[in-house]
Amino acid sequence: MIFSSRFRNRFRKPKSVWIRGEDAAARFMKKQGCKVLARNLRLPIGEIDLLCLDRASDSIVIVEVKARVRTSDATPDPESSITAAKKRKLITLAKAISKREGYQGKGIRIDVIAVVFAPDQTKPIDIRHYHSAVGS
């Protein structure tokens, strides 16, 4: 039996908040003039949410995406969940990327994008971009 797309969509599992956050962050980076090279890039030492090329500076951008649903004013900001250990991990990932073929000699920076969704999770209500948020 063939079901209409309207019927299928009613029973489709909604995307997780972090997937929606990464989608929003990728769109945001494209609007900033960056090219998204990879999403969820897995390396032996960890994962990079977004790997981008900043066309203006010809540098590689590692983007850490943090997303939350704003259920009340007491909901903590997404970026508050980036710990010192996470920063060290991002720096280690940046060093690993800088050694890969095709990325050698390019500048690398680590950005953080915080995405906040309304309780219905349909569209982001706030996107904050922290340029060079983590030193490498």
Sign of CA dihedral 12, 17, 18, 22: positive
Q: Write out the two tokens for 12.
A: 């489709």
pTM as predicted:
0.83
pLDDT in tens, 34-78: 999 999 999 999 999 999 999 999 999 999 999 988 777 767 788
In the chain the domains, ranked by start, together with CATH numbers, are 14-134 (3.40.1350.10)
Give the list of residues 6+ apart from residue 75 with CB closer than 8 angstroms, or none: 68, 69
Closest CA to 68 of 6, 126, 1: 126
Cβ(66)–Cβ(76) below 8 Å: no
pLDDT in tens, 93-103: 999 999 888 88
DSSP 78: G
